[in-house]
């Protein structure tokens, strides 16, 4: 069920997202991960499972949450699945 449409992000997940990812150490780790894996045009092109494994977030993030997180730090996100 990946037909698009609006995605609801629960406040509890947003809270976990920010507490898990916006502490200074996590932010630095995330930035290094993105810098290392960005393509020549700065676009990160890998799947959400890779991000979740690397960040070791207790609750796996949804694609929309990852997009939101990347937008907050000025990054683009592309996936191979463009349906």
6 located within any domain: no
- Burial bucket for residue 51 (CB in 10 Å: 0-12, 13-18, 19+): buried
If one counts every other C-beta atom within 10 angstroms of the C-beta of residue 62, the result is 17
| CA angle (59, 61, 67) in 5-degree steps | 160
Which domain range does residue 26 map to?
11-77
pLDDT digits (tens, 9 = 90+) for 33-76: 767 766 666 555 556 676 667 666 566 667 777 677 667 666 55
**Nearest Cα to 14, choosing from 76, 54, 53, 72?**
72
The answer to whether residues 74 and 38 touch, using CB atoms and an 8 Å cutoff, is: no
Residue 32 reports pLDDT greater than 70: yes
Residue 2 lies in a domain: no
The total domain count for the chain is 1
Phi, psi (rounded to 5 degrees) for 54: -70, -35
């Amino acid at each position: 069920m990946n037909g698009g449409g609006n995605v609801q992000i629960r406040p509890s997940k947003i809270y976990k997202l920010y507490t898990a990812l916006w502490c200074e150490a996590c932010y630095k780790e995330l930035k290094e991960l993105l810098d290392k894996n960005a393509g020549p045009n700065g676009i990160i092109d890998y799947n959400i499972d890779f991000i979740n494994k690397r960040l070791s977030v207790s609750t796996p993030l949804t694609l929309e949450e990852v997009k939101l997180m990347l937008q907050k730090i000025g990054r683009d996100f592309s996936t191979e699945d463009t349906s």
